Amino acid sequence: MCSTTVAGSTEDGPGDDCARVRRLLARAGFETVPQDGNGLRVWAAPEGVMIGWAAQEILRPTIQVHGHEEDLSRFTALPGLHTALRTALAVTLRDGGLDVAVRGEHLLAVRPQGAPEAGPTPNRTS
């Protein structure tokens, strides 16, 4: 899916599926960060392209206020926000021609079965 460098890390090429996912997300107003960053992340997996969200920056104020409480998870789980974001991302990627499935806390985007190798996404004028 994503091109691999000699060292084994992933690097986006012009026809690369990770780059395609990032372009689709950017067109919809989603900004992505490197895989180890905080925010919306895109990375290669053996089965396709994974998309996940690390919310540490959003949670920092909550942890500062409620960090002393025993059940901190009830303040930091954000299940509704995660569900809304996953739904918006899935719709965006499906509209871009990809198949999308939920894999734990992440999304998996793949080319539809029988689709050609990834290339530049055509601009639609209609």
29: left (phi over 0), alpha (psi -120 to 50) or beta: left
pLDDT digits (tens, 9 = 90+) for 7-42: 233 444 444 899 999 999 999 999 998 877 788 999
Average pLDDT score over residue span 100-109: 93
Higher pLDDT, 50 or 74: 50
* pTM of the model as a whole: 0.68
| Average model confidence (pLDDT) across the chain | 74
- What is the pairing mode between strands 99-103 and 32-33? unpaired
Q: How confident is the model at residue 68 (pLDDT cuts 50, 70, 90)?
A: low
Helix (H, G, I), strand (E, B) or coil at 99: strand
Higher pLDDT, 5 or 41: 41
Residue whose pair of structure tokens reads 């900004």 in the numeric block = 31
